[in-house]
Amino acid sequence: PGMNAAIRAITRRALQHGIEVKGILGGYSGLIADNMIDLTARRVSNISYMGGTIIYSDRCPEFKTEAGMREAIANCKRFGIDGIVTIGGDGTFRGATDMTEHGVPCVGLPGTIDNDITSTDFSIGFDTAVNTTIEMVDRLRDTCESHARCNVVEVMGRDAGDIALQTAIAVGASAVAIKEIPFDEAGMIEELKNSREKGKRNFIIIVSEGLPGYGEKLTGLIPEKTGIETRFARPAHVVRGGSPTLRDRMLGSEMGAAAVEALLEGKSNIVLCEQKGEITTMDIGKALILDRMYKDKLKDGDLQKFDAETVAWMREFCAEKFAAFKKMYDLSIEISK
């Protein structure tokens, strides 16, 4: 959600500069297959409220091959494509870097509900996904209260716990389990016991999908240890759809317009980021390595192309980001008791 707002902003800002715009259907696979449409002001009218993306999405293993890349570049030349705005995550950004190296300038927009792109505080789609998750958990709460139950809810986010953590705080969950921080299972059990003895009827436990199978485990463990009837729920891909929130429409619009301006200024191989409320840019290569650093997935040689000052800045950036995340996690504990 929010991608269509970005597409609208990109198209209209480019048209204002006298630039023709094409929508590449299905991402890089559409570029290889010559599957494109003309994007006009009329075509992008009234799409900001729509979830999903009018130009679709796809994974494209062929794009990773030399033959696939040659075909993509050939189509860019055939249609006079001077620059591309890509919307997605790590795979999309790596593809943008490859295109830039082959002479086609690219600018990336972070689009993922998981909010797991380290270089930006918020990615397009995250806010809507969290709000949808909150609404669904609130509905579960009604049944928990009437039936004196506990609901263990596994939410999306891949390995990132942002959706789980922010949902837990917003709905007043009794506990949240995420991959990034060790979970106090015994402490949770004691808190549930104490709360039930004090008369509390309903309980919500949020679990990130980054802990596969753990939600089901807790669903069996809680009644065994506390006597509280417990059910398991997995909203899954439902939270990826739906009409985008104000925040996602604004973020997509601001980033989309900024992407066009960046290309016109001759910038490429960059990703647009929101940091502390401001739209800024970062080199894609730097953003990808920063992401690996934050997720503790650095490979040998990843830092060699950066000077000592840049590496120090990256480490500080990651430390500050995790400290803010940990502060939010601590808050979830403090207000759950």
- Residues involved in catalysis: 114
Reading phi first (left if > 0) and then psi (alpha if -120 to 50, else beta), residue 52 is in: left
Both structure tokens of 74: 């050939």
- CB-count burial class (<10 Å; 0-12, 13-18, 19+) for 123: buried
Half-sphere exposure of 114 (CA within 13 A, CB side): 16
| Cα 109 to Cα 270: distance, rounded to the nearest angstrom | 9
Q: Could you please report the per-residue DSSP string of 201-222?
A: --EEEEEETTSTTHHHHHHHHH
Sheet holding 278-283, edge to edge: 84-88, 106-110, 270-275, 278-283
Of 28, 217, 203, 16, nearest to 106 by C-alpha is 28
